[in-house]
Amino acid sequence: MTSAPPVTRARVPSVRPAGRAGFGGLLRAEWTKIRSVRSTVWTLILFVVITVGFTTLFTWLTVANWNGPRAASRDATVASDPIRFILGAGIGLGQLTICVLGALVITTEYSTGVIRASLLAVPRRIQMLAAKVVVFAALLIVVAEIVVFCSFFIGSAILHSRVAVSLSDPGITRAVIGAGLFLSVLGVFALAIGALIRHTAGAITTVIGVVFVLPILSGLLPGSWGAHIDAYLPEQAGSLIDEAHQQSGQLLSPWQGFGVFCLWTAVLLAVAAFLLVRRDA
Amino acid sequence: MIEVRDLTKRYGSKLAVDQLSFTVDPGRVTGFLGPNGAGKSTTMRLVLGLDHPNAGSATINGKPYHELAKPLRTVGALLEVKSVHAGRSARNHLLFLAQTQGLPRARVDEVLGLVGLADVADKRAGSFSLGMSQRLGIAAAMLGDPQVLLLDEPVNGLDPEGVLWIRNLMRQLAAEGRTILVSSHLMNEMAVTADYLIVIGRGRLITESSTQDVIARSTDKSVRVRSPDAARLAELITGAGGAVVPGGTGAPGEPAPANGAGLVTVTGMEAPRIGELAASASIVLHELTPLASLEDAFIELTSGSLEFGKHGPDPVAARDGSAR
């Protein structure tokens, strides 16, 4: 396949002037981009395997060691808030892959240069970003909801012999659906940071810093202002949604916390969109 | 048609494009010539809306790029830098581009056939040779059957067969009435490809003219002559073995075209001989200026940004060499 084709054959067939395009076309294009690259597909598979796998592993180990040595306080925690335990077990690690995936979806366009092809095709850059966010969020909602419901059913089945938890209990259905929504918004949050930083390593480091490291530091802040900062951090606020009910001493309700997280994401996206239009590609 | 007006682009303190103006007309291959670093790629990126100019404007068929509704149906571009994901197949790369423009899936197969990549359409683009990558770039540019094509150094690194293929394709597309702007840093390549040349150095226009004229001026020392009776003088000079081109060379310090009535550029004849010819026929001369050749001017303007090895590391030696 090295010989050039004869140019006489190169008569270029003209294109029908009619044809679907508009925002629907941009959505189809972004879907093609996501599904046609191994890194995104594999990261998504990794998310499913890690989340479901670790939910199963943690709940099984906990049940197996129930009443075991040094297990009393853990057993009490699990019994008092079983849904947070079940969902937290897998999501705690699974959300790492979502952070990576969200950043990759946009930073690989920069590292590979595809961003230039994308912007030549869609010079109205905000539309390109909007289509990417919509497609990625839709994909995540579907996959994450399936994953969190699977995690819940597996986890609650394993835990059933010790603690019974059912979707009909107050707050449980909201917590499970909410966990899927949290992961979806987390992906968009990471995408926004990726769009701002434009380098894969830098973006992933930043997202992980904000999501995993900042809460550790903010937890050490003294006084009520420290508690407020801690409560309003993106991940701290957003993950409240997978609790069955607001704990005493928590500043935000589950939905309020999720709202704060959505607001963080919206602001980052707005800044990313602004810079996308202003910066040279 | 591409129109560039007073385009200026600064990166930090470096002026990459400096009040550049030119027009690219349909129906011919227009070469965009200049040494590496002259601002060719930057100009193309500005025309394509990838970078934002500090001043001036660039339009395609009268509109700035970002106002084109389905831009790939109007403009096709091959950039010098890669713009394909190495892990994505050629087909999927073209497919997502087609989807943004509302083009049917069948169009992807058409352009794959056009550039001869149909057999490797589902292979990862990262496994492609340089020539195949370049053809994938051409396929992307041709996807929307555009009237305007911008190709940045399309023959860079290609084997002779690939060079010939791209050259013929460009000529054919121009013959179909399309607007073709193709950049290169090699005068030899442009000489056989382009009908018309826009020459830039350090972000500024050096000259624009038909390829024939530019070559004539670049290989010989030339003399700028102004006379109220330029037509008669031109006949004399031609009769005595010189070559006359109407207008100036665009060299620094040259009067604007409005003041350029009776201005011609003579090659293949030294200034004293032209003066003698004029005197013998009692023709009044308003100006008789020996000029450096275009290549001299080119090197002078661009000596700071020239890539070593093309003309030798010593600019003085290079000048002597080109003056023959």
Secondary structure (DSSP) of A185-247: HHHHHHHHHHHHH--HHHHHHHHHIIIIIHHHHHTT--HHHHHHHHHHSHHHHHGGGGSSSPP
Q: What phi and psi, each to the nearest 5 degrees, are found at residue B207?
A: -165, 160
Q: Would you state the pLDDT for residue B219?
A: 65
Q: Would you state the pLDDT for residue B301?
A: 54
Q: Would you state the pLDDT for residue B319?
A: 38
Q: Would you state the pLDDT for residue A29?
A: 97
| pLDDT of A116 above 80 | yes
Residue B111: C-alpha distances to residues A7, A52, A99, B47, B74 (Å): 13, 44, 37, 24, 16
Q: Would you state the pLDDT for residue A72?
A: 83
What rounded mean pLDDT belongs to chain A? 90
Query: Does B115 touch chain A if contact means CB atoms closer than 8 Å?
Result: yes
Residue A187 lies inside a defined structural domain of this protein? yes
Q: Would you state the pLDDT for residue A16?
A: 52
Alpha carbon of A134: minimum distance to chain B alpha carbons (Å): 15
Number of domains chain A is built from = 1
The full length of chain A comes to 281
Residues from chain A that touch B84, judged by Cβ atoms under 8 A, are 112-114, 117
Alpha carbon of B162: minimum distance to chain A alpha carbons (Å): 6
Of A19, A30, A114, the CB nearest to B103: A19
| pLDDT of A12 above 90 | no
Q: Would you state the pLDDT for residue B311?
A: 42
Residue A31 lies inside a defined structural domain of this protein? no
CATH 3.40.50.12500 fits B2-210, yes or no: no
Name the residue of chain A whose CA is nearest to B132's CA: A2
- Write out the two tokens for B198: 């826009």
Q: Would you state the pLDDT for residue A136?
A: 98
| pLDDT of A5 above 80 | no
Start-end of CATH 3.40.50.300 domains in chain B: 2-210
Query: Does B90 touch chain A if contact means CB atoms closer than 8 Å?
Result: no
Query: Does B97 touch chain A if contact means CB atoms closer than 8 Å?
Result: yes
Query: Does B262 touch chain A if contact means CB atoms closer than 8 Å?
Result: no
Q: Would you state the pLDDT for residue B295?
A: 65
Residue A18 lies inside a defined structural domain of this protein? no
List the beta bridge partners of residue B148. B75, B179
Q: Which residues of chain B have pLDDT under 70?
A: 216-220, 248-260, 292-324
Name the residue of chain A whose CA is nearest to B101's CA: A21
Residue B319, number of CB atoms within 10 A of its CB: 17
Q: Where are the alpha helices (DSSP H) in B118-201?
A: 130-142, 160-175, 187-193
Residue A268 lies inside a defined structural domain of this protein? yes
Whole-structure pTM value: 0.83
Query: Does A111 touch chain B if contact means CB atoms closer than 8 Å?
Result: no
| pLDDT of A107 above 70 | yes
Q: Which helix (DSSP H) or strand (DSSP E) does residue B4 occupy?
A: strand B2-11
The C-alpha atoms of residue B84 and residue B93 are separated, in whole angstroms, by 7
Q: How confident is the model at residue A15 (pLDDT cuts 50, 70, 90)?
A: low
Residue A6 lies inside a defined structural domain of this protein? no
Contact A280 B45 (CB under 8 A): yes
CATH 3.30.70 fits B222-291, yes or no: yes
Can you say whether residue A171 is alpha, beta or left, with left for phi > 0 and alpha for psi between -120 and 50 degrees? Answer: left
Smallest CA-to-CA distance from A254 within A266, A244, A265 is with: A244
Residue A19 lies inside a defined structural domain of this protein? no
DSSP B125: G
Q: Would you state the pLDDT for residue A101?
A: 97
Q: Would you state the pLDDT for residue B70?
A: 92
Smallest CA-to-CA distance from B263 within B294, B238, B290, B285 is with: B285
Best probe of the A interface among B11, B96, B101, by most A CBs < 10 A, is B96
Worst-scoring range by mean pLDDT, A20-24, A214-218, A236-240?
Answer: A20-24
Q: What phi and psi, each to the nearest 5 degrees, are found at residue B60?
A: -120, 120
Name the residue of chain B whose CA is nearest to A38's CA: B87
Residue with tokens 């087909």: B91
| Domain of residue A198, residue span | 36-278
Name the residue of chain B whose CA is nearest to A123's CA: B66
Q: Would you state the pLDDT for residue A144?
A: 97
